[in-house]
Amino acid sequence: MTGALHPSASATVGSTAPPLSGYLVAATDRHISVRVADGTWTFRRADVLSLTDWESAAAQGICEERPVLVRVRSGTVADFTQRRRVELVDRPLTLPQDHTPARGDDELQRLTEIWARTLELTTRPGVGGATMTCCQTRSHNGSDDGAACDSLD
């Protein structure tokens, strides 16, 4: 296995990411692979600033691999692999895209702020303290069979 790597003198605290805790599964002259709960990170050896033993996990002795803390240079490009179960079906093997359930919320918020500014309304939450609702219950033919409402919170 590998010993501790000491950061170079040119590395400052602000230029490093917080340490990654995991289990060392492979170490070569070119790469280091660390297993975490969701998968395995593989870093180039040149991007690893320090590799030290993870004392609290080692004391528990819950895993055969060596528990380590890895500190990498900020901006490091790394590979991340995940273990997936494959079920054989009649369609090609694909991975679903990870979409946020609130897709489009940022754009809707931006458009709402633009619209509110044109009406000279505040866009900060909790300011203003009133809701104004305008309703029209008359259709074009003079009957009361339709409703159109706008609400400003």
* pTM attached to this predicted model: 0.49
For residue 35, give Cα distances in angstroms to 38, 40, 79, 114, 115. 8, 4, 12, 46, 48
Distance between the two ends of the chain, CA-based, in angstroms? 62
Contact 44, 73 (CB under 8 A): no
Q: Spell out the alpha helix ranges (H) of 1-141.
A: 55-60, 105-118
Domain positions in the chain are 16-81
For the stretch 26-75, pLDDT in tens is: 999 999 999 998 899 999 999 999 888 887 655 566 667 788 999 998 88
